[in-house]
Structure 1
Amino acid sequence: MAKALMIQGAGSNVGKSMLVAGLCRAALRRGLTVRPFKPQNMSNNAAVTADGGEIGRAQALQALACGCAPLTDMNPVLLKPETDLGAQVVVQGRRVATLRARDYAAMKPRLLAAVLESFTRLKAGADLVIVEGAGSPAEINLRAGDIANMGFAEASGTPVVLVGDIDRGGVIAQIVGTRVVLAEADAARISGVMVNKFRGDPSLFDEGMAEIVRRTGWPSFGLVPWFAQAHRLPAEDALDIGSTRGGPLKIAVPLLSRIANFDDLDPLKLEPSVSVEMVPPGRALPGDATAIILPGSKSTAGDLAFLRAQGWDVDIAAHLRRGGHVLGICGGYQMLGRVIRDPGGIEGPPGDMPGLGLLDVETVMHPKKRLAQVRGRHLASGAALTGYEIHIGDTQGPDLSRPWLEIGGRAEGAMSADGRVSGAYLHGIFASDAFRAAWIAGLGGQAGTLAYSAEIDATLDRLAAHLETHCDVAGLLALAR
């Protein structure tokens, strides 16, 4: 049975996911069979697993760092926010309910059994499991029934390392304050601390680290400098979505309120000939864009209303009058149609919502979710591609007679008669180098020599080397039990 170590944060977005990925790759390079685990995650950036379920994108990246396929047991509870008050609850890869926050809090203690079941299965096939917490154990108002941080650590007997983020400021208070508010039994589960995202001369923080150690009694395992290549790895948190300034081919992406699976855009951001501009609320879509991509959404109807409220529908119409192109992916594809029908009230009150009317199709929402990893080709170029489907709803209409993809021998996607508006349900297709080059060429651009999957793998190696240089990796792995 594997040993385990848990990385918790003194706050949200302190870099836990990245540190776990780096430690996983460092352990793999030591010859260990290592697996990632996150008991509970909240993210609309999900991945489809080899066993046909869904988990948070960070755990899929961590699985890659471990040199293994992603599995549902790596993230047994996934929360996918649909509104400010409610979220879809996915347990061991499958949707079980959509609940308001208070109702989920009541359900949470019953999920511990599923969490421990998944954890036990992972441990049975590994030497080491590296666990990522969620949010912060300092949120002691959530301690009762907790399955994400100290509740899991207590139930599983897993030692904890606490990480603070110096980049946002106040890291001494983050870590020392966590020590102050934790119950003694929980504080005793913490075996050490790390400080992440440091910029500048590390010797300037020697006294600060010494104060943390003195005031908490927890040993330090390192001060980790900012990893400059972090942007090359898929991000899970929408807070981390950024624009890139590359070449002259500009792609504009409206930052929807419930944007999902936004790592679809990551390969384009690494292309030297491409600039990807993520357009926040309150700003118009740029008039000089070559193409607009409508990304996935966890709440298609809600985000369609949000898009209209920003005036982006007017911007899209003007973009097309100028001869631009529009691509819709999954929820963005559904928005491009004439109407979205939701007779069962799956995404909100039952009823119909007019779409943008740019494709002659309509979508009917239904409760069954499609989850599948797929292989196919781009019909115009013949380029091979891989991707995944993760959606509810069925789309039909005349424009499906102009598919632009083929998946497993079946047509996929729809296209307008002039070829400038297209949509499909497939995520992840830009990671396929030949397809990405063909799509860029179709916009009049030219792709570089980027081998995307190889670049991600090489960046994980560089991340592991970064941690080996700046923190006590051997000491951290020795804490596992």
Structure 2
Amino acid sequence: MARAIMIQGAGSNVGKSMVVAGITRALVNRGLTVRPFKPQNMSNNAAVTEDGGEIGRAQALQALAAKVPAHTDMNPILLKPETDTGAQVIVQGKRFATLRARDYAKAKPELLGPALESFDRLCAEADIVVIEGAGSPAEVNLRKGDIANMGFAEAAGVPVVLLGDIDRGGVIAQLVGTQVILPKEDAERIKAFAVNKFRGDVSLFADGAQAIVDQTGWTDLGTLPWFADAWRLPAEDVMDISSKSGGSLKIAVPRLGRIANFDDLDPLSAEPDVSVEIIEAGRPLPGDADLVLIPGSKSTIADLAHFRAQGWDIDLLAHVRRGGHVLGICGGYQMLGREISDPDGIEGAPSTVPGLGLLDVTTVMKPQKRVALSHASYRVTGDVVSGYEIHLGVTDGPDCARAWLDLDGRPEGAASADDKIRGCYLHGLFSADDFRAQYLGELGATAQIAYDEGLEQVLDQLAAHIEAHMDLTTLLEIAAEPKAQR
């Protein structure tokens, strides 16, 4: 049986996903077989696994850090928000139900079993499993039925390291206060702590770290300086995506209310010759954009209404009249058509709504979701693209005769007669260096990076960062074999 350790946070967005990825790669570099695991995640930025399911994007990155293919066992429970009060629930990669928050709370006890099953399978093939919590265990109002933090740690019998974020201030209160508010049994599961995102001379926090030790009795695993290249790693939380300026080619991306699978932006943002501007609600689409990229959406019809409510439909028409280019991916592709029909009420009440009318295609929502890793080629050059599909709906119409991809032996996508407006269902296509270079070249920019190679370099740099500032030897000593009996 593998050993296991769980990294929980003293708050949301303290950097758990990045730190787990760094620990994972560092331990792999030490010669260990490592598997990442997160029992419950909430994200619309999903990844497709080789076993044909969905997991959170952070766990896919952590699998890359572990140098193994992503698998649904790495994130057995994935919540994909569809409204402010409801989410689609993915269990071991497959759709389980769409539940309101209150109903999900009632369903959690039956989901602990699948989470433990997945965890046990990972333990059977690894030296150590590095577990990521969700949010914070200090949210004691959510403790009953919890499967994301202390509830899972208790059920699996694993020790916990608590991570604090000094950048937001009050890190001593974050960590010490968490111990104070937790039930005694939960507090005793925490064996050590670490502090993340320190700016400046780390030695200046020595007294602060000792104060945490004195108050809690926990082992200090170290203070991690700010990792400057964190922006180069794929973001999972929509709140973490931001504009990147400096390039001569300007890409405008409207931030949809239920934006999904926005990792399509990462390779573009990494290019020095490209500026990616995230357009927030209430702001117009910029008149000097070269390309407007409409990303994926978890709720296409609702996000189309949101798009119109900002006046972006008017801005987009003006952009097209100026000769600008438009690209829609997945939900964005559906929005570009003439009509979206949802006869079964998959996204709400049954309805048919007009699209933006920039492509002569229509979409019909279907209950069957397509989830697949896919391989394609760019028809213009034959450049090979590997990506993934996660979508409901079938899109067809005259502009599909101008498909610009061959996807697993079939035509994919649609284009306007002047080829300036395109759409497709394939996510991840910009990760392919040759295709990205060709596409950006058509827009007048030059691609300069090898994206996948660069991602590997950042993971190794992150691992070195973790090794230099975090006591991984002590972390391995704290890690324990999970319970043999449930």
Corresponding residue for residue 468 of structure 1: 467
Amino acid at match of 1:352: T
Amino acid at match of 2:351: G
For residues 267-292 of structure 1, the C-alpha deviation after alignment (integer angstroms, 9 at most, x for no partner) is: 00011111100111111111111000
SS at match of 1:242: coil
Amino acid at match of 1:387: G
Equivalence map 1:429-468=2 (5 Å):
429-448=429-448, 450-468=449-467
Corresponding residue for residue 478 of structure 1: 477
Corresponding residue for residue 36 of structure 1: 36
Gaps of 5+ in 1: none
SS at match of 2:168: coil
Tell me how far 1:247 sits from its aligned partner: 1.6
Tell me how far 1:158 sits from its aligned partner: 0.7
Corresponding residue for residue 223 of structure 1: 223
SS at match of 1:229: helix
Aligned equivalents of 1:85 and 1:65: distance in 2?
A: 33
Corresponding residue for residue 398 of structure 2: 398
Equivalence map 1:372-387=2 (5 Å):
372-387=372-387
Equivalence map 1:355-370=2 (5 Å):
355-370=355-370
For residues 88-117 of structure 1, the C-alpha deviation after alignment (integer angstroms, 9 at most, x for no partner) is: 000000011111000000000110000000
Equivalence map 1:94-109=2 (5 Å):
94-109=94-109
For residues 195-237 of structure 1, the C-alpha deviation after alignment (integer angstroms, 9 at most, x for no partner) is: 1000012122111111111111111100000000000110101
Equivalence map 1:4-23=2 (5 Å):
4-23=4-23
Corresponding residue for residue 300 of structure 1: 300
Cα root mean square deviation, aligned: 0.7
Tell me how far 1:306 sits from its aligned partner: 0.4
Aligned equivalents of 2:455 and 2:201: distance in 1?
A: 28
TM-score by length of 1: 0.99
Gaps of 5+ in 2: 481-486
Aligned equivalents of 2:454 and 2:372: distance in 1?
A: 25
Corresponding residue for residue 261 of structure 1: 261
Tell me how far 1:372 sits from its aligned partner: 0.6
For residues 130-178 of structure 1, the C-alpha deviation after alignment (integer angstroms, 9 at most, x for no partner) is: 0000000001011110000000000001110000111111111111110
Aligned equivalents of 1:88 and 1:228: distance in 2?
A: 34
Aligned equivalents of 2:318 and 2:441: distance in 1?
A: 23
Equivalence map 1:127-276=2 (5 Å):
127-276=127-276
Corresponding residue for residue 79 of structure 1: 79
Aligned equivalents of 1:476 and 1:242: distance in 2?
A: 33
Aligned equivalents of 2:476 and 2:465: distance in 1?
A: 16
Amino acid at match of 1:198: F
Aligned equivalents of 1:289 and 1:102: distance in 2?
A: 43
- Pairs aligned (count): 480
Aligned equivalents of 2:215 and 2:83: distance in 1?
A: 40
Amino acid at match of 1:342: D
1:330 and 1:425 in contact (8 A); partners too: yes
For residues 30-53 of structure 1, the C-alpha deviation after alignment (integer angstroms, 9 at most, x for no partner) is: 111100000000000000001000
Amino acid at match of 2:310: Q
1:246 and 1:271 in contact (8 A); partners too: no
Aligned equivalents of 2:444 and 2:178: distance in 1?
A: 54
Q: What is the percent sequence identity of the aligned residues?
A: 66
Q: Compare 12-21 and 377-386 and name the one that shifted more.
A: 377-386
Corresponding residue for residue 282 of structure 1: 282
Amino acid at match of 1:398: P
Aligned equivalents of 1:147 and 1:64: distance in 2?
A: 25
For residues 69-100 of structure 1, the C-alpha deviation after alignment (integer angstroms, 9 at most, x for no partner) is: 00000000000000000000000000111110
Aligned equivalents of 1:94 and 1:335: distance in 2?
A: 25
Aligned equivalents of 1:323 and 1:66: distance in 2?
A: 45
Aligned equivalents of 1:357 and 1:138: distance in 2?
A: 48
TM-score by length of 2: 0.98
SS at match of 1:125: coil
Tell me how far 1:419 sits from its aligned partner: 0.7
1:55 and 1:78 in contact (8 A); partners too: yes
1:324 aligns with 2:317: no
SS at match of 2:228: coil
1:195 and 1:223 in contact (8 A); partners too: yes
SS at match of 2:266: helix
Tell me how far 1:260 sits from its aligned partner: 0.5
Aligned equivalents of 2:362 and 2:235: distance in 1?
A: 32
Amino acid at match of 1:49: T
Aligned equivalents of 1:447 and 1:235: distance in 2?
A: 21
Tell me how far 1:477 sits from its aligned partner: 2.0
1:290 and 1:325 in contact (8 A); partners too: yes
Tell me how far 1:480 sits from its aligned partner: 1.1
Tell me how far 1:478 sits from its aligned partner: 2.0
Amino acid at match of 1:414: A
Amino acid at match of 1:393: G
Amino acid at match of 1:438: Q
Tell me how far 1:325 sits from its aligned partner: 0.3
SS at match of 1:212: helix
1:16 and 1:132 in contact (8 A); partners too: yes
Aligned equivalents of 1:408 and 1:155: distance in 2?
A: 43
SS at match of 1:167: helix
Tell me how far 1:418 sits from its aligned partner: 1.1
Tell me how far 1:407 sits from its aligned partner: 1.0
Aligned equivalents of 2:254 and 2:477: distance in 1?
A: 45
Aligned equivalents of 1:202 and 1:294: distance in 2?
A: 42
Amino acid at match of 2:181: V
Tell me how far 1:352 sits from its aligned partner: 0.6
1:400 and 1:413 in contact (8 A); partners too: yes
Aligned equivalents of 1:249 and 1:465: distance in 2?
A: 34
Amino acid at match of 1:467: I
Aligned equivalents of 2:234 and 2:463: distance in 1?
A: 16
For residues 419-478 of structure 1, the C-alpha deviation after alignment (integer angstroms, 9 at most, x for no partner) is: 111000000010000000011011122211x11101001100000000111111111122
